[in-house]
Amino acid sequence: MMSFMKGRVLVVDDDTALAEMLGIVLRGEGFEPSFVADGDKALAAFRESKPDLVLLDLMLPGRDGIEVCRLIRAESGVPIVMLTAKSDTVDVVVGLESGADDYIVKPFKPKELVARIRARLRRSEEPAPEQLTIGDLVIDVAGHSVKRDGQSIALTPLEFDLLVALARKPWQVFTREVLLEQVWGYRHAADTRLVNVHVQRLRSKVEKDPERPEIVVTVRGVGYKAGPS
């Protein structure tokens, strides 16, 4: 089991009943939840509580979830899991593009939620010293850094994980489902839109020309693979 020091969760939700219920469930699983109900106050609460993960409702009074997500992402790579009542592609993609790592559609089961939170927190447990190259990038897995010609590129933990997963097996073509399992920790395939959006975000950061990717290459009809080193 992971260390509970790494279990602070900030719940941003205006529905008090749901927030309270989330608190009950999270505490039951050993997390330390803190709450904020207003989008305008979310950023302040985030800075104050320094959570390990943010649970963010998309529909909020004041600033909406998308905006809050963008603000948090601007200053931190902390995992963000969106709670959304809308499973329409547009809503999901907009949420993911604003910087969320994962999303969960209401109504969800407590176990599902906890599994997602654990999956997002898990990765920071095992920093094995390892050096990978992908394209002209050098990845220091333990040091959690990606460099091109000595210039470091800032990635969120999720984007980092995605890149590492591809770089570890440069000979393999990853289907979206496999990536979902390895990076997001889904056992059963969920939504491949997650992969699409995050690959695009990753490309926008690491590729010289995101229109013609060389690091993360699309294999049409199958998935993605690492570009040649």
Partner 1 sequence: MSGDSAASVPGGPGTRPGRPVGRTALSARLRRLFEGGLPRGGVQGSPVLRLFLRWVRRPLLPVMRLWRRNIQLRVVATTLVMSLGVVLLLGFVVIGQVRNGLLDAKVKASQSQATGGFAVARQKADEAVSGTGAGGAAGTGDGSATDGRQSQNVIQWMSDLVESLSSGGAGAFDVVTLPVGDDSGGGRSPRGSGNVNPTSSVPAELRERVNSGTTAVQSNTRIVYFGGKESQPGLAIGKQVNDPNGRPYELYYLFPLTQEEKSLSLVKGTLATAGLFVVVLLGAIAWLVVRQVVTPVRMAAGIAERLSAGRLQERMKVTGEDDIARLGEAFNKMAQNLQVKIQQLEDLSRMQRRFVSDVSHELRTPLTTVRMAADVIHEAREDFDPVTARSAELLADQLDRFESLLADLLEISRFDAGAAALEAEPIDLREVVRRVVSGAEPLAERKGTHIRVVGDQQPVVAEADARRVERVLRNLVVNAVEHGEGKDVVVKLAAAGGAVAVAVRDYGVGLKPGEATRVFSRFWRADPARARTTGGTGLGLSIALEDARLHGGWLQAWGEPGGGSQFRLTLPRTADEPLRGSPIPLEPKDSRRNRGLDDGGERRAGEEKRATVPVQQSGAQGPALPPRTPVAPRLTTGGSAADPTALPGKGNGARVVPRPTGGVRRPGDEPAARPAPDAPDAAGTRPEAAAPQDSTQSGEASRGR
Question: In terms of Cα–Cα distance, which of 62, 57, 59, 46 is closest to 10?
Answer: 46
113-132 binders of partner 1 (CB under 8 A): none
- The span from the CA of 198 to the CA of 25, in Å, is 29
Closest distance of CB 23 from partner 1, Å: 10
- The span from the CA of 187 to the CA of 97, in Å, is 23
- The span from the CA of 176 to the CA of 199, in Å, is 10
**Out of 2, 4, 21, 50, the residue judged to bind partner 1 by CB under 8 A:** 21
- The span from the CA of 38 to the CA of 63, in Å, is 8
- The span from the CA of 225 to the CA of 173, in Å, is 5
**Phi/psi at 71 (5° precision):** -65, -45
Q: Pattern of binders to partner 1 over 168-197, x per CB under 8 A?
A: -------x-x----------xx-xxx----
Q: Pattern of binders to partner 1 over 66-85, x per CB under 8 A?
A: -----------------x-x
**Out of 6, 29, 32, 59, the residue judged to bind partner 1 by CB under 8 A:** 59
3-class DSSP assignment, residue 140: strand
Which of 4-12, 24-32, 36-44, 165-173 is the region at the interface with partner 1 (rule: CB under 8 A)? Answer: 24-32
Which of 20-28, 42-50, 131-139, 200-208 is the region at the interface with partner 1 (rule: CB under 8 A)? Answer: 20-28
- The span from the CA of 227 to the CA of 229, in Å, is 6
Closest distance of CB 15 from partner 1, Å: 5
Residue 22 interacting with partner 1 (CB under 8 A): yes
List all residues 6 or more positions away from 49 whose beta carbon is below 8 Å from its beta carbon: 8, 10, 34
Residues making contact with partner 1 (CB under 8 A): 15, 17-18, 21-22, 24-25, 28, 59, 83, 85-86, 88-90, 106-111, 175, 177, 188-189, 191-193, 220-222
